[in-house]
Amino acid sequence: MLVLCLAAPPALAMELAREDDGAVVEVSGFYKNLLFGVAVPNGPAGAMDAQILRAQTRFLFAEVFELDVAYQLQFVLATDPAFVGGTSLSGTIGGTGAGPQRRLVPLESVVASTPTSVLTQNLDRLAMKFALPFGDLTIGRQVLSWGTGRFFNPTDVLSPFPPTVIDREVRRGFDAVRLAIALGETTQLDLLWLPQLVAEEHGGVARFQTNVLGWDFSISAGKYVRDFVVGFDLVGDVGPVNVHAEGAYTIEWLKAGAVGEHFFRGVAGADWRPHEVVMLTLEYSYNGYGTTDPSRYVQVLTSVRARRGEVFGAGKHVVAAAASWRANDLLSTSLAVLCNVADPSAVAIASLEYSFTQRVLVRAGAYVPMGRPPVNGQLKSEYGSGAFGAFAQVGVYVP
């Protein structure tokens, strides 16, 4: 469980109906309100309020069929047009906002907008799962969580989270046909087809995962639009320390048949629990798509890959550290720091969470950037050019 989302209520569902033939209908949902105040160095200061209403239902029949549907409305109101749907928002709320474009049919749109507000709707899940004798077949809009990194997941190019995100409860759904073949108690083969409107942009992934001597590891190879990606991840314990690593190599295939961009991204880290209520995390991320030259940061951050949410950050070397403390079953707090060691610059993210009940969660915290601010519009550091921010979020869950 990630350091910035410690006390989130468990995913509960209310049984709406049950028939003797094994048919079951479950419903769940939530309402969230996130208020975020932000001050950009040498730029505007203001606030934005994001309200999210999500409803989800599942229909199950005799453990052989499952239909999963989720629909979401989001309303954002800001004091400045620059904050409406901008990177300051999408990089903190997370979930079903901007991300890799792995959808065949959008099924999302802007319902209404003004210069300082926008109302969007999103059919975020629409998937059917069939239980087969040797595994499960899932067709439609679904989610997967791949990789072992705590802040960065280079092997997850389907629905990753930004490393600075506040709320990691809901991932962005993607369109796929997935066959999960069980090869043993701890061994599985995933085969995915990722359809696109253009025939040559169809993609697919094969991923094998197993456990050897107490270590979980996986290898994967896939085509995403025009990228070929080969990846691996592993996680296991070395004494009292949990160790993880993950890496992916990306090769872009151009229309002319030539190789375009190609780069490696990897992470390595460890978790240590010195006390049952304290967790310490340290992680290093190498971003081969990034740069050590601040004059090239804008080029990286405005690239197509960054805008699509496939890569995060402009720096090449980032060290992340986090500490979390759970006071009791209701109250927890955490502090995370991401540091670009080449600038150097950093951003500290503090979060406090309190659960009034299993149905109501309150989260509050702040973002504090450290490093050289921009000079005459030129970035001098990655995190020093970020925004100061404070946030408060209330989540109400049903059931």
Summarize the confidence of residues 375-395 as an average pLDDT: 91
Tell me the average pLDDT of the chain. Answer: 90
Query: Does pLDDT of 381 surpass 60?
Result: yes
Angle of CA points 388, 53, 357, to nearest 5° = 80
pLDDT digits over 53-91, tens only?
999 999 999 889 999 999 999 999 999 887 776 544 445
Handedness of CA 158, 163, 165, 168 (dihedral sign): positive
The answer to whether residue 16 sits within a structural domain is no
The answer to whether residue 7 sits within a structural domain is no
The answer to whether residue 10 sits within a structural domain is no
Contacts within 8 Å (CB) and 24+ apart, 17-22:
21/61, 21/62, 22/60, 22/61, 22/62, 22/63
Task: Supply the pTM of this predicted model.
Answer: 0.90
The answer to whether residue 13 sits within a structural domain is no
| Count of domains forming the chain | 1
The pLDDT of residue 121 is 94
The answer to whether residue 185 sits within a structural domain is yes
User: For the CA atoms of the chain, what is the radius of gyration?
Assistant: 21
Nearest to 272 by CA among 234, 232, 233, 244: 244
Summarize the confidence of residues 300-327 as an average pLDDT: 92
The answer to whether residue 4 sits within a structural domain is no
pLDDT digits over 124-170, tens only?
999 999 999 999 999 999 999 899 999 999 999 898 888 988 888 88
pLDDT digits over 184-229, tens only?
999 999 999 999 998 888 999 999 999 999 999 999 999 998 899 9
What is the token pair recorded at 229?
A: 């990606």
Percent of the chain surpassing pLDDT 70:
93
The answer to whether residue 289 sits within a structural domain is yes
At 232, which CATH number? 2.40.160.10
The pLDDT of residue 4 is 44
The answer to whether residue 379 sits within a structural domain is yes
Range of the structural domain that residue 131 is part of:
23-398
The pLDDT of residue 119 is 95
Q: pLDDT-derived band of residue 1, with 50, 70 and 90 as boundaries?
A: very low
The pLDDT of residue 332 is 96
Query: Does pLDDT of 258 surpass 60?
Result: yes
Query: Does pLDDT of 358 surpass 90?
Result: no
Angle of CA points 102, 105, 108, to nearest 5° = 95
